Chain A
Amino acid sequence: MSFVEYGDTIKEGDTAVVFLGHESMFPVKVQDGGKTQTKYGVIRHSTDLIGKPYGSKVTCSKGGWVYILHPTPELWTLNLPHRTQILYSTDISLITMMLELKPGSIVCESGTGSGSLSHAIIRTIAPTGHLYTVEFHQQRAEKAIEEFREHKVDHLVTVKNQDVCKNGFGVTNVADAVFLDIPSPWEAIGHAKSALKHEGGRICSFSPCIEQVQRTCLALKEHGFTEINTSEILLRVYNVRTISLQIPDLGKAVKEDNSSAAAFDRGNQSNQDAPCAASPQPGTVQFKSSVPLREMVGHTGYLTFATKSLF
């Protein structure tokens, strides 16, 4: 396995994802002789994991079972150890498309943070692209380097420990795209411009506050960027549920009431393609519905995109 290449079977040194159910999962580094505790008991790497195909059901010591999944940047994003606030896949998707990333792209990023976006970028630009990522916090930079090596993608990324606002990305005229997720992106726009290829490229800046966006847009304009656009993307997740609603008693005679509820039931069913499950209780109607989550993420950050063009 690697984060940029699928493998069929679990091998020593792999990072696998243990899936316990209902978005409860965690990553595990597969080691000969290693053991992992789950709430369903212990998993012994040598016998339970190594050599098994990804996607297998593994029975734990207490008889419960889990699925072992191949790592992807999306699963990593949900499971990585947070060292900073991270970007999630909804924003990452839009960033990747709007920056026009593809195999071979050269990308500059700052800060590296916890490496959530970095993994997604590396996946997309492999096998011929490269990511130059800048992180001014030394421990975070070192931890990122270690993770990239563990995930076998270190040949596709260079981590620099410096201040992007003062020292830039350490490369000039090479990048197809630049991504900024720093507190004062407007101070890095000049460096971003010089990191981008002479003939142009795309830039994106992520900021939670509108005041930051305001200053960034002004800086982009001053540096001659065009197509400056700011947008925000929200993910709405739905739970699929069987709902059962009671038929109100409008005071009709008992016998009649039962039959009219049944008639309503039948009518409702024949209107639908998928027949509803027979109502367990008389006087109720059942149907499948998709219900929005009671709480959802209302704001992550504004995404400002722009183009550097030759003129």
Chain B
Amino acid sequence: MEEGRGHVILEGDWAVLKKDEVFKAVAVLRRRKIIFEKQWFYLDNAIGHIYGTTFEVTSGGSLQPKKKVEEAATETKEAGTDNRNIVDDGKSQKLTHDDIKALKDKGIKGQEIVQQLIENSTTFRDKTEFAQDKYIKKKKKKYEAIITIVKPSTRILSTMYYAREPGKINYLRYDTLAQMLTWGNVHAGNKMIVMETCAGLVLGAVMERMGGYGSIINMYPGGGPVRAATNCFGFPDSFFHTLYDFPLSKVDTVLSGTFSSKILPSEPEDSIAVAEDSNGSGDDKQQSMQDADMECSTVLAMESNQLEEQEAVDIPTEGEAFDSNKAKGTVCDKQKKQEERRKKLIESAALLKNKDADGLIIASRFHPAPLLLSLLELVAPSRPFVVYCQYKEPLVECYTKLRERGGVINLKLSETWLRSYQVLPDRSHPKLMMSGGGGYLLTGITVINEAIKTGDNTEQAANEPTSKKRKLEEHL
């Protein structure tokens, strides 16, 4: 596991930058300029420090570890009791815009700028203690250039994605993802089927919870799975040894028993998938890191048109990776890779053929009903499944169709609300803003479906007491 290399920031690591509540995932590389929250800097100095260290950005873009400083208590604890005499004349701050800019250009520390702003505010002393607190906090946020470097985790990456690029993860809020992992009973040793189009975030969350034990079959639409978010977790290579991919378009052949390794995806698709495959392994790490980094830092632009954006971002980068592969690799290399890919595909199909998966997780931009009805066939009885959808109606349809199909019990359609609180002495209350929606879940448990298996269910049903039958049909 990752214990050994765990807590020191190393070159080549994936790390997350944090400023207040804002996150950004980056690859730790030397001499690489990073822009984060209107500041630019290099991560060179951060290498060798422990995760969780807070740094101050100094001029020239270098990072200096910041020691915990005692809050510089405002020497005279003078404060007003109310604001009856505070008039907004726009002249309370004696420093002008230009003065402040000059201070900044001189490279004066943010902390000192805040101090100067306080000293030059004529109304500061008349403000209530709470208002003074609020003023300082606001100014600190603006002028103090402080970032913390933390280790990636599902908590951090799912929060980051929901805040920065919710469209890429189908508006799956982090508390909803948390429910999925629990209701899916995701744990070490499972054989999980994951079908997602959430940039690989859901896959990464499942991988984290399985810790490299067991196996995951990642169903993907199109040419290959998207793993931008998965890469940000910085999993060890060993985690990828038990990760299998399987093209969604071949699921039917597995179900009907007509799967053959000869029907591989056609040539161009194939090469894309080869490039994708290598993302997890060592040789293309640099390349894949840059791809994923790009993906992570693309800002909200895609909200309006998710599909087009996804293609615009994903396909070219895949293409690049393919080009570089082609440039350095010979025909022989390519054949070898194709052979490897074919081998892995046969392994994936073999895992699926037994129809004994320990769970199914679906979170995609596609209609969930056909996915669910097909993929559930591959799950063993008495195992949980979880379907996410941004909208409720498709899940209502899933619910109805699963009832008709049978073989599932304990169906539950749900949603979670998440409310954050400000907790301060005498100032505790729910935060002003909360998220309006984090999507819906349909959960349930598989059972042996006798209606399909034996085909004599009419006879059997006739034998059952009618009262019991009616009760169960109503509620099951």
A interface residues (Cβ-Cβ under 8 A, vs B): 4-6, 8, 19, 21-23, 40, 53-57, 62-65, 67-70, 72-74, 89-90, 92-94, 96-98, 100, 102-104, 120, 123-124, 126-128, 199-200, 210, 213-214, 217-218, 224, 228-240, 273-274, 288-290, 302, 304, 307, 309-311
Contacts and interface: CB of A to CB of B under 8 A. Distances in A.
Given A22-B471, A230-B423, 18 more contacts: A6-B190, A8-B380, A21-B476, A23-B410, A54-B382, A67-B447, A90-B179, A94-B418, A96-B182, A97-B181, A199-B7, A200-B52, A213-B423, A213-B428, A214-B428, A233-B175, A233-B418, A310-B53
B101 interface: no
A230 B420 contact: yes
Contacts, number: 208
Contacts of B280: none
Interface of B: 1, 3, 7, 50-54, 67-68, 153-155, 158, 174-175, 177-179, 181-183, 185, 187-190, 208-213, 356, 358, 380-384, 392, 395-397, 399-400, 409-410, 412-421, 423-425, 428, 445-448, 450, 463-465, 468, 471-472, 474-476
B396 to A, nearest CB: 5
Contacts of A309: 52-54
A267 to B, nearest CB: 18
A97 B465 contact: no
B416 A235 contact: yes
Contacts of A120: 182
Contact of B392 (A55, A217, A290, A302): A290
B409 A4 contact: no
Contact of B189 (A21, A70, A127, A234): A127
A253 B3 CA distance: 81
Contacts of A64: 464-465, 468
A87 to B, nearest CB: 12
A186 to B, nearest CB: 12
Contacts of B380: 6, 8, 55
A259 B476 CA distance: 38
Nearest to A217: B423
7 contacts: A40-B468, A63-B468, A93-B179, A97-B178, A103-B188, A236-B415, A238-B413
A22 B209 contact: no
A234 B177 contact: no
A21 B403 CA distance: 13
Nearest to B158: A97
B412 A230 contact: no
B403 to A, nearest CB: 8
A8 B382 CA distance: 9
A214 B52 contact: no
A222 B109 CA distance: 26
Given A70-B382, A98-B155, A57 B52 contact: no
A214 B210 contact: no
A289 B400 CA distance: 11
Contacts of A74: 182-183, 185, 384
A93 B180 CA distance: 8
Contact of B358 (A6, A98, A126, A274): A6
Contacts of A100: 153-155
A231 B418 contact: yes
A226 to B, nearest CB: 8
B448 A53 contact: yes
A40 to B, nearest CB: 6
Rank and list the top 5 A-B pairs by shortest CB-CB distance, nearest first: A55-B381, A103-B211, A22-B475, A55-B382, A54-B382
A125 B384 CA distance: 19
B425 A218 contact: yes
Most buried by A among B68, B358, B410, B463: B410
A40 B382 CA distance: 21
Given A55-B448, A62-B465, A97-B177, A126 B187 contact: yes
B447 A102 contact: no
A214 B425 CA distance: 7
A8 B475 CA distance: 26
Contacts of B383: 6, 55, 70
A190 to B, nearest CB: 18
A261 to B, nearest CB: 25
B410 A93 contact: no
Given A22-B476, A232-B421, A63 B178 contact: no
A93 B273 CA distance: 34
A104 B54 CA distance: 26
